[in-house]
Amino acid sequence: MKLIYTLTIFVLVSTQSFAQNFKELVTYSFATPEDYVKAEPKVLEAVNYLFTTPIVKDDLNRMIANQFIFKWMEGTEYTFNVSVETTELTDGNTNLFGMFLAGMSKIVLTHKDQSLTDTEINEQVTQMIVAYCKVPSNNAKPTKKIKKLMKGEN
């Protein structure tokens, strides 16, 4: 019984502290190149949040995480190229498109020591999106192309 109480308290504290981080993200200022570098751990935290929580309508935390990542992408030293394949893959699904951009951020930040091509980045992010969509509880609505990839078709 004590274990249940301990786990409940841990989950509540973890959730609350993460939500507080999101409130900080709203007011984060990107004024100098150093600000973008300092924000990298927060960017990864936001990306991980997007890929580990289900899509829920009007989720404020998802919106804040996406906006923070987009702001970071606009001014960071890294460049991101959205290909025709990306737009075909996400096919107007704004949740999946936002997650694709977030995934690009994660790939470049977790592979800083490698010089990845746009194709390599897109392939890795596509795998992340397909894996996310395969979990029914994530409430993702896969596009036709993602459904084919989920079935192993190309």
Dump pLDDT digits (tens) for 19-72.
445 778 999 999 999 999 999 999 999 999 999 999 998 889 999 999 999 999
pLDDT tens digits for range 68-88: 999 999 999 999 999 999 999
Residue 124 burial (10 A CB sphere; 0-12, 13-18, 19+): middle
DSSP secondary structure string for all residues of 123-153 = HHHHHHHHHHHT-GGG-----HHHHHHHTT-
pLDDT tens digits for range 110-122: 999 999 999 999 9
Report residue 80 as tokens: 């991101």
- Predicted local confidence at residue 12, as pLDDT: 39
Alpha-carbon dihedral sign for residues 23, 26, 30, 31: negative
Task: Look up the pTM and report it.
Answer: 0.83
